[in-house]
Amino acid sequence: MTSIEAIRDDFTFLDEWEDRYRYVIELGEALPDFPTAAQTDANKVPGCVSQVWLLTEFGNGNDPEITYTGTSDAHIVRGLVAILLAAFSGKHASEIMATDAEALLRDLGLDEHLTPQRSNGLRSMVRRIKRDAELALAKAG
């Protein structure tokens, strides 16, 4: 999977938003296949216009590492899922809680170039990821 740093670097080289959108779609296409059996209501992210599923795996310990896999039925949204996975998957719960997702999206310019529906869906995904991290820390404590 592409790192969030590589994605940030790639965004700086792409001047046109059409090129950035194509890149976002390519990121989504590079996601590993998401198991059809995991496309359940329990894994579905509410608040997204497109269908989005996130599967969460928790590691052990007081500050567990959390791994996410995800997908969407929409190409651009699947790419947005890939960006969030690059930012959050494989991180410890405390790192996830400390990450300023709004700043990340601002740095990439996504906050000003997405439709309001996609922006709301992206925030719903971030809320779900942060909630998972919060629950993991609460269970450990």
48 is catalytic: yes
Tokens 């779900």 belong to residue: 128
Domain count, the chain: 1
Q: Which of 25, 45, 48, 126 is catalytic?
A: 48
pLDDT at position 94 is: 97
CA atoms within 13 A on the CB side of 130: 12
> Facing residues of 67 across strands?
57
pLDDT at position 119 is: 85
pLDDT at position 141 is: 64
Give pLDDT tens digits for 114-141: 888 888 888 999 999 999 999 999 987 6
Domain that holds residue 70: 4-140
Q: What CATH number does residue 44 fall under?
A: 3.90.1010.10
Residue ranges of the chain with pLDDT lower than 50? none
Instruction: Tell me how far apart the terminal alpha carbons of the chain are, to the nearest angstrom.
Output: 31
